[in-house]
Amino acid sequence: MAMPTRETAVTTIEELLALPEDGLRHELLDGVHVVTPAPEYPHQAVLGEFYFALGTALQGQDELQLLTSPADIVLSPRTLVQPDVFVIRKQPGQILKRWSEVGVPVLAIEFLSPSTAARDRGAKRRICQSAGVAEYWIVDLDARLVERWRPDDARPEVVSEDLVWEPLATVAARLNLPALFARVLGAPA
């Protein structure tokens, strides 16, 4: 069972980055420090399926890069996030050396767990939308669906069958969600 998240008195990115390494995920959401323990197995296994599908779609191009956290993605002076999976845009041939060079992701994906669901759907979603993350996906393992948010959306697009993502004219990913979830979670009840 995952431990609940906890909030501490850290209020700046500098204070957050100065904390000693403890194996937990630390984020600063509009000045609120949030600590999250390691996720459960299904969370990580479904994450792996998404990562593989997106990685396959992104092969052969060098404008977009697929990554996972831990990562220190700064979206504002009081906001540092660690999306579960994310895609960044970079110049072809560009070599990045620091998280501060990454900028705003074009895609950020959060896989819900009981301890993070309210934050992922609430504060973190609003922050990503305001920062200009082109797409913010919330993967709900229990409902076997994805909530897709774009910057101006008041409500998500809810996808439970084929999820199509076309970040570039030459790149498209098609994720068959029922098959993807079934590989990890088994057939739906």
Q: What is the pLDDT of residue 94?
A: 86
Asked if 105 and 58 touch (Cβ cutoff 8 Å), the reply is no
CA neighbor of 146 nearest in space, from 162, 130, 132, 131: 162
Give the pLDDT score at 37: 81
How far, in Å, CA of 92 to CA of 39, rounded? 34
pTM score of the predicted model? 0.90
Q: Any idea what the Cα angle at residue 44 is, between residues 42 and 49, rounded to 5°?
A: 95
Which residues on adjacent β-strands are paired with residue 165? Answer: 173
The per-residue pLDDT for 3 is 43
Domain boundaries, the chain: 40-185
Residue 177 backbone phi and psi in degrees, to 5: -60, -45
Query: What pLDDT is attached to residue 141?
Result: 96
Beta bridge partners of 64: 89
Q: Which residues of the chain, if any, have pLDDT below 50?
A: 1-4, 7
- For domain 40-185, the question of CATH label 3.90.1570.10 is answered with yes
pLDDT of residue 188: 85
